[in-house]
Structure formats: structure tokens, C-alpha cells
Amino acid sequence: MSQKSLREQREQRLRNLEALKERGFEAYPYVYHPTHGSAQLHAAHPAPEPGARLGDERVVVAGRVMLLRMLGKLTFVTLQDAEGRIQASFQRDKLETYNALKKIDLGDWLEVSGTLYATQTGELTVDADDFRPLVKSLRPLPDKHHGLTEKEARYRQRYLDLMVNPEVKRAFSLRGRAVSFIRRYLDDLGFLEVETPVLQAVPGGAEARPFVTHHNALDYDFHLRISLELYLKRLIVGGFDAVYEIGRNFRNEGISYKHNPEYTMLELYWAGRDYLDILELVEDMYSALVVELLGTTKLPYQGAELDFTPPWPRIDYTGELAKRAGMDFDPLDEPRLRAWTAEHHPGAGTGNEPPLAERPLNQLYDKLYDIYVEPNIVGPVFVMDHPLAISPLAKQHRSRPGLVERFEPVAVGMELGNAFSELNDPLDQRARFEQQQALREAGDEEAQMIDEDFLTALEFGMPPTGGLGLGIDRLAMLLADVPSIRDVILFPLLKPE
């Protein structure tokens, strides 16, 4: 729509607003009180007989005008509320204010009262005996098929996306219900929900590049958190047995179908447990959640079927890497791994990066895993027992040298979470932080910083603990069967126009 046309429509709608005010309607009422939602009425009358009157009960409905058909002495309006749509009909002979309907535009909010009947086509309808405008839409709604189909426009103006594409609401409804279920599940196990700082002097708990922000009063640069982990562990040191937080993390990284710089994580820590206990929790919680929300453990996703029925398959990180990459040796053998990589992935890296075989060991494992393993997993499965080099916060495996006690739930090529038997040896933790710091000084901006306060906390003693982080956004993608993380974030990050 051209700017001229938009301006003309806005001016006409302002004139319609003035006309409604002249007829005695309040321009912007303060409250409205529907007695029923659209879904409630349709549930009560699922298949009304065409032409039937449906009792004398007077109902009040309210919603946005999505369709309006004026047929002389009879007008039909379709209202959209938070639950769905309901039709209302208006007869000139029954309404003194009938002519005011000429000043109602698509997009306006309307409150309608009356009794219910079914039209000759069987559509449930409110036979209006009164109505009042609730708010005037000064801008025309976009055409569903031509005006708001481009993905980026829908993300930028999510409010319009929700208006004209009501099916979009399903993803966000499932997301909200999933978070509520997780809270109930953990509360029933005795976990305490807590809140930890978003602004942190030392961002830790993950390998990621942080955002930096300046605090004027303290004249100090703080970081937006990249993880919830290290502060939640401080609470275990302090004496809590089981804590969790559902909160936002911020990572100054690329954007993809499964990455957004601002996203939501569940993290929990449970004293006295190890990673196998946490694995059972994830398996049980996820399967129960899927059944609660969708009625089955089998979940369709983008043409695949994901079966969340316990137990999920377990696969070994290094074993799976060797099998899928065709290695005839243990990937923990660093010299052979680098030689193999140089042979199979020769050439310079991208930008200023060295060839893959010459990169730090943690980056080498991550890249090979991203090439050979994760994209080929349908799942859900648990990828188990990762190399120590990529796990600076996990306990060393009690029976497999060079590995840690860690698992990741993975489905359709996406990591859904991360869990450890948590490292609680402060001397080992300091040594690993120092290794990470050396990587930072060598140019790895995602390597972790040394957090002296966290090390001090560990020296007071953290009991054996199992920990878990789960991505809420990726879970919502699976539940809603949508291909992009932006489809389950109401307002994803976009570059300003």
C-alpha cells in the first residue's frame, strides 16, 4: 500500500471516529466485560442445527473486526478474540444505532451483546441487541495473503502477524504452557526457583562472546550474562539443595535458524546427584511434557517423527565421531586426530583462522562434531561422555580417562541442552580456567575468563552436584513444528531498518 493511500485511509478512519463520538459513543472506553470467549461458545455449541435458536441466554462477546458484510438491513461481523473467532449479526429493525455500523472499520474492536443462533449454513452467531465500539483502528489491517507474508516483516511487526495469522499464536501458546509445565515439574521435585544477575563483572559458564555495557554510576564495564551457571552453583555452595532459573542469556554471536543472540534457558543444579540422575530427569520431564501438551510421545517435526518415549538412545561422543567420520583410531589421540584432519580438511581456514588441523583442540573437536555428528542425528538421543578439552566445567569421567561426565540431548541436528556431573574440585577448576585464559590471550574471544569469586566459593566446598541447561526456544521449535527459532521468539533481534 502506498504512503498516500495509507494516509488517506487513516484520515477517513479519523473522520469515522469523530462520527461515532457525535453519535454518543465513547471514543476510548476504559473497560469491557465479555461473558464468553469465542472458543467457549463454539465448545458449548459444536454443531448447531442450521437456523436453530440456541436459548434465551444473553451473551457478551468482544474482539477485533476481521470481516464486515453490510447487506442493507442486515450486517454480519466476524470478531477475533484471543481464543478464535465468532460471528455477530445486526438487524436494522432491532437496533436504533444500526447506521453507526457504517463507521466501523476492519481492525476496530467491538463489544456485542445478544442471544445465540445458527445461520442457515450452520454458523454459530450472536444475534445483536446492542453493541459499542471499544477502539478505532487508525490504520488498515494488512491483507493476509499479500500484505504480510514476508518473514522479516512478520518478525518486525509481530503484533500484525498475530492479528492476520492467528495460527502463529499456537507456537507461543505451546511455549508458555511448556514453561509452566517445567516449573510445576521441578517445584514438585522440591526445587526452588531463583533469580541471578544479568549484569556480571565476569561472564562465565559457557564459551561465548559476551555483550558489554557500561554502568555510569560505578564507571565500570559489565557484561550481559552468557549463562546462568556460575551464580547458581554459588547457591549450592551456600546450602541450597536444588535450585533452578528460567532466564535470558545473551551471546554476541551469529544468527541462524537455531541461534538468536538473546534466548531463554532453563538451568538447574541438584546436590547429591550426578549426570546420570540428571539424564533420567530430562528423559522423564520431556516425555511427560510432550504427552501433556500434545497427547502423545511421538512428535512430528518438519517431516521427521521424534519419539520421546523413554528410554532414549545413548550414543558415545568420541565413538560416534570416529564412526561417522571414518576414523580407525580413538579421536582422543591428538596427534593422529590432527594428522587425519590435515588430510581430510586441508587448506586455509576462513578469514584469519588457521587451517582446521592447527586450531586449538577444543575448536577442532567442536568443528568435527558439527560436521559429522550433530547434523546427522534425528533423535531424540543423548550424546554422552565428551572430551575433557571441550568441557571446562564438568567432572572428569570416573572410568574413562580424557573424557568428562557430560551429556547433551540432541534432536534433528540441534543440541537441546547440556548436563554435567559438575566439577567441584577448586584446584582442577582453576587449572582449567587458566587453560581457557591462555586460549583467550591467543585470540579466542569465546574462551572463558577466570572468575576468582567463583573459585573462592568452590574453595568453601560445593557438594557433589548434577547440573543441567536446556534451551526453551529450541524446545518450543519442536513442539510447534516450526523451522526457525525466530518463529518461537515473539520479538527476535533484527537490524533496525
The rounded distance, in Å, linking the Cα atoms of 436 and 303 is 40
**CA dist., res. 131 & res. 110, Å (int):** 7
Q: Give me the amino acid identity at 145.
A: H
In this prediction, residue 349 carries a pLDDT of 59
**Is residue 433 assigned to a domain?**
yes
Q: Which run of H or of E encompasses 269?
A: strand 262-271
Number of domains in the chain: 2
* Shared-domain flag, residues 123 and 213: no
Q: What pLDDT, on a 0 to 100 scale, did the predictor assign at position 497?
A: 82
Q: Are residues 117 and 194 in the same domain?
A: no
Residue 337 DSSP SS3:
helix
Same domain for 121 and 192: no
Which set of grid coordinates corresponds to residue 466? 548434577
Structural domain containing residue 107: 3-141
Measure the CA angle with vertex 449, ends 446 and 453; round to 5°.
Answer: 150
Q: What is the pTM of this model?
A: 0.91
For 431, list phi and psi in degrees, rounded to 5.
-60, -40
Give the closest residue to 100 by CA, choosing from 10, 11, 21: 21
Contact call for residues 208 and 201 (beta carbons, < 8 A): no
Hey, how many other C-beta atoms are within 10 angstroms of the C-beta on 9? 15
Residue with cell 466485560: 33
> For cell 461515532, what's the residue?
20
The CA distance from 145 to 154, in Å, is: 12
Asked whether residue 355 is domain-assigned, the answer is no
Tell me the pLDDT tens digit for each residue of 109-137: 999 999 999 999 999 999 999 999 999 99
Phi-psi region at 74: left, alpha or beta (left = phi > 0; alpha = psi -120 to 50)? beta
Clarify whether residues 130 and 179 are in a common domain. no
* Residue 99's CATH number: 2.40.50.140
How far is the C-alpha of 11 from the C-alpha of 139, rounded, in Å?
9
Give residue for cell 531463583: 194
93 and 195 share one domain: no
Q: What span, in angstroms and rounded, lies between the C-alpha atoms of 122 and 382?
A: 51
Count CB neighbours of 311 within 10 A.
Answer: 10
Backbone angles phi, psi at 409, to 5 degrees: -75, 130
Residues 297 and 383 both lie in one domain: yes
What is the distance between the alpha carbons of residues 453 and 412, in angstroms, rounded to a whole number?
Answer: 38
Q: Name residue 196's beta-bridge partners.
A: none
Indicate the SS3 state at residue 385.
Answer: coil
Per the domain annotation, does 345 fall within a domain?
no
* Torsion-angle region of 351 (φ positive above 0: left; ψ -120 to 50: alpha; else: beta): left
Residue 92 has what pLDDT? 95
> Which residues, 6 or more positions from 288, have their beta carbon under 8 angstroms from its beta carbon?
181, 185
Task: Indicate if 114 and 184 belong to the same structural domain.
Answer: no
Helix H segments across 420-468? 426-441, 452-459
- 137 and 171 co-located in one domain: no
Q: Using the 8-state DSSP alphabet, how is residue 422 labeled?
A: B
Residues of the chain whose pLDDT is less than 50?
A: none
Half-sphere exposure of 339 (CA within 13 A, CB side): 9
189 belongs to a structural domain: yes
User: Is 83 domain-assigned?
Assistant: yes
396 in the same domain as 260: yes
Answer for the pair 204, 227: CB distance below 8 angstroms, yes or no: yes
CB–CB of 123/87 below 8 Å?
yes
Q: How far apart are CA 459 and CA 296, in angstroms?
A: 46
Same domain, 120 and 59: yes
Are residues 175 and 136 located together in one domain of the fold?
Answer: no
